[in-house]
Amino acid sequence: MRYTENDIPHRERLLSAKMGFSCSSKATAIFGLLALSTLVSAKKSADVTELQIGVKFKPESCEVQAHKGDTIKVHYRGKLTDGTVFDSSFERGDPISFELGSGQVIKGWDQGLLGACVGEKRKLKIPAKLGYGEQGSPPTIPGGATLIFDTELVEVNGKTSSGGKASDSEL
Protein backbone atom coordinates (compact mmCIF):
# COMPACT_ATOMS: atom_id res chain seq x y z
CA MET A 1 0.00 0.00 0.00
CA ARG A 2 1.40 3.36 -1.00
CA TYR A 3 0.72 6.54 0.99
CA THR A 4 0.49 10.11 -0.30
CA GLU A 5 2.31 12.98 1.39
CA ASN A 6 -0.93 13.92 3.19
CA ASP A 7 -1.29 10.42 4.70
CA ILE A 8 2.18 10.39 6.29
CA PRO A 9 2.60 12.25 9.58
CA HIS A 10 4.93 15.28 9.44
CA ARG A 11 7.86 13.56 11.17
CA GLU A 12 7.68 10.59 8.83
CA ARG A 13 7.61 12.88 5.77
CA LEU A 14 10.79 14.59 7.00
CA LEU A 15 12.54 11.27 7.57
CA SER A 16 11.44 9.95 4.20
CA ALA A 17 12.63 13.10 2.41
CA LYS A 18 15.99 13.19 4.19
CA MET A 19 16.68 9.48 3.88
CA GLY A 20 15.37 9.17 0.34
CA PHE A 21 12.97 6.29 0.79
CA SER A 22 9.34 5.69 1.65
CA CYS A 23 7.88 4.31 4.87
CA SER A 24 7.29 0.90 3.32
CA SER A 25 10.92 0.57 2.20
CA LYS A 26 12.04 1.93 5.57
CA ALA A 27 9.96 -0.73 7.33
CA THR A 28 11.46 -3.41 5.09
CA ALA A 29 14.96 -2.16 5.88
CA ILE A 30 14.26 -2.11 9.62
CA PHE A 31 12.77 -5.60 9.49
CA GLY A 32 15.82 -6.85 7.58
CA LEU A 33 18.21 -5.34 10.12
CA LEU A 34 16.27 -6.85 13.02
CA ALA A 35 16.28 -10.28 11.38
CA LEU A 36 20.03 -10.05 10.72
CA SER A 37 20.67 -8.86 14.27
CA THR A 38 18.69 -11.79 15.67
CA LEU A 39 20.64 -14.30 13.59
CA VAL A 40 23.99 -12.80 14.61
CA SER A 41 23.10 -12.75 18.31
CA ALA A 42 21.83 -16.35 18.16
CA LYS A 43 25.10 -17.44 16.56
CA LYS A 44 27.13 -15.51 19.14
CA SER A 45 25.24 -17.03 22.07
CA ALA A 46 26.11 -20.54 20.89
CA ASP A 47 29.74 -19.76 20.07
CA VAL A 48 32.05 -19.35 23.04
CA THR A 49 35.49 -17.89 22.30
CA GLU A 50 36.94 -18.11 25.82
CA LEU A 51 36.56 -20.65 28.61
CA GLN A 52 33.59 -19.83 30.85
CA ILE A 53 33.53 -21.27 34.37
CA GLY A 54 30.33 -21.19 36.40
CA VAL A 55 30.45 -22.38 40.01
CA LYS A 56 27.12 -24.10 40.68
CA PHE A 57 27.91 -25.37 44.17
CA LYS A 58 30.85 -24.83 46.51
CA PRO A 59 31.21 -26.61 49.87
CA GLU A 60 31.10 -24.42 52.98
CA SER A 61 34.68 -25.35 53.77
CA CYS A 62 37.25 -26.05 51.09
CA GLU A 63 39.45 -28.64 52.74
CA VAL A 64 41.01 -30.05 49.57
CA GLN A 65 41.62 -28.04 46.39
CA ALA A 66 42.82 -29.17 42.92
CA HIS A 67 46.21 -27.94 41.71
CA LYS A 68 48.37 -28.65 38.66
CA GLY A 69 49.96 -32.08 39.01
CA ASP A 70 47.25 -33.46 41.34
CA THR A 71 45.49 -36.69 40.43
CA ILE A 72 41.79 -35.89 40.47
CA LYS A 73 38.53 -37.77 39.98
CA VAL A 74 35.70 -35.93 38.28
CA HIS A 75 32.10 -36.82 37.51
CA TYR A 76 30.83 -35.08 34.39
CA ARG A 77 28.11 -34.76 31.80
CA GLY A 78 29.20 -33.47 28.38
CA LYS A 79 26.71 -31.70 26.10
CA LEU A 80 26.68 -29.82 22.85
CA THR A 81 25.11 -26.34 22.76
CA ASP A 82 21.86 -27.85 21.42
CA GLY A 83 21.58 -29.93 24.62
CA THR A 84 22.64 -33.27 23.09
CA VAL A 85 24.46 -35.30 25.76
CA PHE A 86 27.49 -37.03 24.22
CA ASP A 87 29.02 -38.57 27.38
CA SER A 88 28.24 -38.90 31.09
CA SER A 89 30.22 -40.50 33.91
CA PHE A 90 27.13 -40.06 36.09
CA GLU A 91 25.26 -42.57 33.90
CA ARG A 92 28.17 -45.02 34.08
CA GLY A 93 28.66 -44.43 37.81
CA ASP A 94 32.41 -44.12 37.21
CA PRO A 95 34.20 -40.74 37.48
CA ILE A 96 37.23 -40.08 35.28
CA SER A 97 40.66 -39.96 36.92
CA PHE A 98 43.57 -37.93 35.49
CA GLU A 99 46.54 -35.74 36.38
CA LEU A 100 45.41 -32.11 36.27
CA GLY A 101 47.40 -29.89 33.92
CA SER A 102 49.26 -32.75 32.22
CA GLY A 103 47.38 -32.76 28.91
CA GLN A 104 45.64 -36.09 29.53
CA VAL A 105 42.29 -34.38 28.89
CA ILE A 106 41.15 -31.42 26.77
CA LYS A 107 42.68 -28.04 27.68
CA GLY A 108 39.31 -26.69 28.80
CA TRP A 109 39.25 -29.27 31.59
CA ASP A 110 42.89 -28.71 32.62
CA GLN A 111 42.14 -24.98 32.93
CA GLY A 112 38.53 -25.13 34.11
CA LEU A 113 39.07 -27.43 37.09
CA LEU A 114 42.12 -25.66 38.57
CA GLY A 115 41.38 -24.41 42.06
CA ALA A 116 38.16 -26.40 42.43
CA CYS A 117 37.37 -27.79 45.89
CA VAL A 118 36.43 -31.42 46.45
CA GLY A 119 32.64 -31.48 46.24
CA GLU A 120 32.50 -28.35 44.06
CA LYS A 121 30.22 -28.40 41.03
CA ARG A 122 31.11 -26.33 37.99
CA LYS A 123 29.61 -25.72 34.56
CA LEU A 124 32.36 -25.34 31.97
CA LYS A 125 31.60 -23.78 28.58
CA ILE A 126 34.56 -24.71 26.44
CA PRO A 127 35.33 -23.16 23.05
CA ALA A 128 36.47 -25.48 20.26
CA LYS A 129 40.08 -24.27 20.55
CA LEU A 130 40.21 -25.66 24.13
CA GLY A 131 38.14 -28.73 23.26
CA TYR A 132 38.40 -30.87 20.13
CA GLY A 133 39.18 -28.05 17.71
CA GLU A 134 38.01 -27.75 14.15
CA GLN A 135 38.36 -31.51 13.58
CA GLY A 136 35.97 -32.45 16.42
CA SER A 137 35.67 -36.05 17.57
CA PRO A 138 33.38 -37.72 15.03
CA PRO A 139 30.76 -38.99 15.07
CA THR A 140 29.58 -37.54 18.41
CA ILE A 141 31.32 -34.15 18.50
CA PRO A 142 31.27 -32.04 15.32
CA GLY A 143 34.22 -29.90 14.28
CA GLY A 144 34.30 -26.44 15.83
CA ALA A 145 31.84 -27.43 18.57
CA THR A 146 31.49 -25.48 21.80
CA LEU A 147 31.23 -28.01 24.64
CA ILE A 148 29.32 -27.70 27.90
CA PHE A 149 30.34 -29.84 30.85
CA ASP A 150 28.56 -30.17 34.19
CA THR A 151 31.34 -31.33 36.52
CA GLU A 152 31.77 -32.37 40.13
CA LEU A 153 35.21 -32.77 41.68
CA VAL A 154 35.00 -36.02 43.65
CA GLU A 155 38.58 -36.58 44.80
CA VAL A 156 42.05 -34.97 44.86
CA ASN A 157 45.07 -37.24 45.44
CA GLY A 158 42.84 -39.85 47.08
CA LYS A 159 41.20 -37.33 49.43
CA THR A 160 37.45 -36.80 49.37
CA SER A 161 35.41 -34.13 51.11
CA SER A 162 33.57 -34.84 54.32
CA GLY A 163 30.33 -34.11 52.45
CA GLY A 164 27.93 -36.70 51.10
CA LYS A 165 27.83 -38.53 47.80
CA ALA A 166 27.57 -36.64 44.52
CA SER A 167 24.06 -36.04 43.26
CA ASP A 168 23.92 -35.42 39.55
CA SER A 169 20.46 -33.85 39.87
CA GLU A 170 21.99 -30.77 41.52
CA LEU A 171 23.99 -29.86 38.41
Is 90 one of the annotated active-site residues of the chain? no
Which one of 106, 126, 141, 148 is the catalytic residue? Answer: 106
- Strands 121-126, 147-156: parallel, antiparallel or unpaired by DSSP? antiparallel
Which one of 132, 141, 148, 150 is the catalytic residue? Answer: 132
Is 3 one of the annotated active-site residues of the chain? no
Which one of 72, 90, 126, 149 is the catalytic residue? Answer: 149
Is 53 one of the annotated active-site residues of the chain? no
Which one of 76, 110, 148, 150 is the catalytic residue? Answer: 76
What's the CA gap between 24 and 81, in Å, rounded? 38
Which one of 57, 87, 96, 98 is the catalytic residue? Answer: 87
Of 139, 138, 152, give the one whose Cα is nearest residue 109.
152
Cis before 139 (ω within 30): yes
Is 98 one of the annotated active-site residues of the chain? no
Which one of 57, 86, 96, 98 is the catalytic residue? Answer: 86
Check if the beta carbon of residue 150 is closer than 8 Å to that of residue 121. yes
Q: Which residues are the active-site residues? A: 76, 86-87, 106, 132, 149
